[in-house]
Amino acid sequence: MLLKLYGTRGSVAVCNKETRKHGGNTTCIFIEARSGDMIIVDAGTGIRELGKDLTARGKHKLNLIFSHYHWDHIQGFPFFTPIFLKATELSIFGPPDEVSAEKALSYQMTMPYFPTGMSNLPSKITFKNLKKKLSIGSIDIDTIVNNHPNHTRGFRFTEGNKSFVFLTDNEVHAQDGKTPYDEFVSFIRGADLLIHDAQYTDEIYKKRLGWGHSTYNQVAALAHDAGVKELMITHHDHSSTDKFIEKNIKEVRKKYSKHKIEAAADGKTRRF
Ligand SMILES: [Zn+2]
Ligand SMILES: [Zn+2]
């Protein structure tokens, strides 16, 4: 499978020269299965660029999975070109636990927030409840409940003997969290790559307890405990400059020198 990152910023999109290297678009990742199936996770502002790429390639049968419906994970949806094309067949999978994906997406496309409503779109959109496990083409997907305000899911994507885990918007050591630390360790164990939210440093985290995000050191320890060699840190805080992110990565690499640790960036790809 091919993985490409289209949005790695947390909370709100940013655009300035200090954040250009790691990118300013909010969460969106794209996975292309060996079977040819197209899977998108989250519709942060990064999905706009992905929409252009898919349209240019003539790809019209698409699957979009939502981790949750906070702004930074849905806001790019009204700017996703394929939804305005008649040829598009889009299956949307969202956690139904608090609100359906259909409701969450419709709200943001309602007057006065957006001029065109969901019901006027020419594409064929089918909404499906996100189950604990599902398969799309050659990829099996397992989900876990993250520790985050509002119901949020993390994902493990497996194709053959290769797998990667995408856990964004997750506070691994949340007090009164929905999922205990050990369950995350088991969920991740043996994966080829862990992509995890580390919006904060340990210092900043002290003032952000319960906000649903983790630190560089916490997620490096998680990768270590789960025996995952490669870690990619994502959901960069909107106030984190490229320089600040790289300084934090450098420090965490010193402590976990046997692991390959890097910061996620828009446009980064990985083939499994
Ligand atoms: Zn987020
Ligand atoms: Zn969130």
Q: What's the pLDDT score for residue 200?
A: 97
Query: Residue ranges of the alpha helices (H) in the chain?
Result: 47-56, 71-74, 101-108, 181-188, 202-205, 216-225, 242-255
How far apart are the CA of 153 and the centre of ligand 2, in A? 10
For residues 170 and 148, is the Cβ–Cβ distance under 8 A? yes
How far apart are the CA of 153 and the centre of ligand 1, in A? 12
What number does CATH give the domain 2-261? 3.60.15.10
Q: Which ligand is nearest to the CA of 26?
A: 1
For residue 79, give every residue at least 6 positions away whose Cβ sits within 8 Å of its Cβ, in sequence order, or none.
45, 47, 48, 51
How far apart are the CA of 170 and the centre of ligand 2, in A? 8
Residue 26: phi, psi to the nearest 5? Answer: -80, 170
Q: Which residues surround ligand 2, an ion (CB under 5 A)?
A: 70, 169
How far apart are the CA of 150 and the centre of ligand 1, in A? 11
DSSP 25: P
How far apart are the CA of 235 and the centre of ligand 2, in A? 10
How far apart are the CA of 86 and the centre of ligand 1, in A? 30
Domain boundaries, the chain: 2-261
Q: Which ligand is nearest to the CA of 42?
A: 1
Q: Which ligand is nearest to the CA of 235?
A: 1
Q: What is the pLDDT along the chain (272 residues), one digit of tens a residue?
A: 999 999 999 999 999 999 999 999 999 999 999 999 999 999 999 999 999 999 999 999 999 999 999 999 999 999 999 999 999 999 999 999 999 999 999 999 999 999 989 999 999 999 999 999 999 999 999 999 999 999 999 999 999 999 999 999 999 999 999 999 999 999 999 999 999 999 999 999 999 999 999 999 999 999 999 999 999 999 999 999 999 999 999 999 999 999 999 999 999 999 99
Q: What's the pLDDT score for residue 215?
A: 98
Q: Which ligand is nearest to the CA of 199?
A: 1
Q: What's the pLDDT score for residue 116?
A: 87
C-alpha pair distances (Å), 194 with each of 87, 211, 229, 242, 262: 34, 21, 8, 21, 11
Q: Which ligand is nearest to the CA of 212?
A: 2
Q: What's the pLDDT score for residue 165?
A: 98
Q: What's the pLDDT score for residue 241?
A: 98
How far apart are the CA of 148 and the centre of ligand 2, in A? 7
How far apart are the CA of 71 and the centre of ligand 1, in A? 8
